[in-house]
Amino acid sequence: MEAVMNNISVEKAKTSKIHEVDFENLSFGSIYTDHMLVCDYVDGEWKTPKIVPYQPITLDPSAKIFHYGQSIFEGMKAYKDDNEKIWLFRPLENHKRLNKSAKRLAIPQLPEAYFMEGLTALLQLEKDWVPTTPGSSLYIRPFIFASGTGFHASPANAYKFIIACAPSGTYFSGSVKVLIEETYSRAANGGVGYAKAGGNYAGQFYPTQLAAEKGYQQVIWTDDNTHEFIEEAGAMNVFVRIGDTLLTAPTNDRILDGITRKSILDIAKDEGIKTEVRKVSVHEIVEAAKNGSLKEMFGAGTAAVVSPIGAFGYKGEDYELPELKDSFASRLKKRITDIQYNRAEDKFGWRYPVS
């Protein structure tokens, strides 16, 4: 069956897998919806995107994605409100960041219309897949990779842009125990840390495994030069509350400019919380933990939303964080999710209707 939505051709799946899915017990990112958006870059241009049944991708063994890590991605969510209406959260920011990543990875810029119209058409088709169990949402994964071929370390001449969707539960359950890293690093000055490039993630797996063996679920990355300043976690930016001030590191070329991070900063200001965007040293955090002024730490990201950090390890010592009743983390999480799920006024204009 062929149809056209927002100028995008749609080839519908013959059968749906939706009835096989246990929406009450969703894990994160492991079940995919019936359709995906595909858009090819060939002969120097992005062709019109198409919606097709979710299906395998076939590539030559010399496709550059297999050899040179030329790939970028985004992570977004679609939220269903009580009236079954579907919403996105600041999707234009994801498009902007995708193109920022694309530039750094020598991938051609993707037109905004292809991204936004493709996304909207796909979500309209997949609307029944957006879960309503508390804490769950439809995780959306736009990605671009080098499909052009050749064993020559240079940019590909062909790319694929795909959007796939996965109904998902929470990323972390409960509070997270993190290790502040002293040896390994995530990103170089002048490198690709600020881009959502595939290679940034693979490089974190081994140090994260080492941390997991010691009982930590995530690593807090520090600058690669001195390891004295905290940067971010594997898939979250990091906030620290000392006394009544909320601190987070400034973005730079090593840190992903998180959309949740900047939204949290805006909401915090709106809540009258004192915020400081400045370098935060490990020394300062450890001292604050010792003298009792360290009140909270939490991660913020699309997948993890706002994830409280229960304890951190540093140089062989563990430091527990207090359990607060009315924490900044819980207030900020409620504010941002109320906007995302259309349960509260959207004074910042962040919600984006899909249907």
Site for ligand PLP in 161-220 (CB under 6 A): 196
Touching ligand PLP, residues 8-37 (CB under 6 A): none
For its own copies, the binding residue among 12, 16, 23, 28 (CB under 8 A) is: 28
Q: Does 199 bind its own copies (CB under 8 A)?
A: yes
With vertex at residue 117, the alpha carbon angle to CA 75 and CA 121, rounded to the nearest 5 degrees, is 85
Cβ proximity to ligand PLP: between 8 and 179 the closer is: 179
CB atoms within 10 A of CB 13: 16
Of the two residues 140 and 289, which places its CB atom closer to ligand PLP in the complex?
Answer: 140
Reduced to 3 states (helix: H, G, I; strand: E, B; else coil), residue 296 is: strand
Window 273-302: residues binding its own copies (CB under 8 A)? none
Task: Give the DSSP letter of residue 197.
Answer: B
- Residue 288, binding choice from ligand PLP, its own copies, none, Cβ under 5 to 8 Å by partner class: none
Q: CB neighbours of 231 closer than 8 A, spacing ≥ 6?
A: 186, 187, 193, 220, 221, 222, 223, 238, 249, 254, 255
Q: Are 63 and 147 in contact (CB under 8 A)?
A: yes
* Residue carrying the six token digits 């360290």: 294
**Spatial separation of the C-alpha atoms in residues 176 and 308, rounded to whole Å:** 6
Q: Which is nearer to its own copies, 107 or 321 (CB)?
A: 107
Q: Does 172 bind its own copies (CB under 8 A)?
A: no
Closest by Cα among 144, 186, 149 to 67: 149
| Residue 352 burial (10 A CB sphere; 0-12, 13-18, 19+) | middle
* Size, binding site for its own copies by CB under 8 A: 73
- Which of its own copies, ligand PLP, none interacts with 302 (beta carbon under 5 to 8 A by kind)? ligand PLP
β-bridge mates for residue 146, sequence order: 159
User: What CA dihedral angle connects 144, 76, 34 and 116, to 10 degrees?
Assistant: -70
Partner that binds at residue 70, options its own copies, ligand PLP, none, CB closer than 5 to 8 Å by kind: its own copies
275 lies in the binding site for ligand PLP (CB under 6 A): no
Contact string 204-243 vs its own copies (x = CB under 8 A): xxx-xx--------------xx-x------xx--------
Task: Report CA 135 to chain centroid distance, whole Å.
Answer: 16
Residue 235 touching ligand PLP (CB under 6 A): yes
Size of the site for ligand PLP (CB under 6 A): 14
Among 41, 46, 68, 129, binds its own copies (CB under 8 A): 68
Stretch that binds ligand PLP, among 79-87, 131-139, 234-242, 319-327 (CB under 6 A): 234-242
Q: Which of 108, 118, 167, 301 binds ligand PLP (CB under 6 A)?
A: 301
141 binds its own copies (CB under 8 A): yes
| Burial class, 262, CB count within 10 angstroms (exposed 0-12 / middle 13-18 / buried 19+) | middle
- Out of 15, 43, 44, 56, name the contact with its own copies by CB under 8 A: 56
Other Cβ atoms within 10 Å of 34 Cβ, number: 19
Which residues are at the interface with ligand PLP (CB under 6 A)? Answer: 75, 196, 232, 235-237, 256, 258-261, 301-303
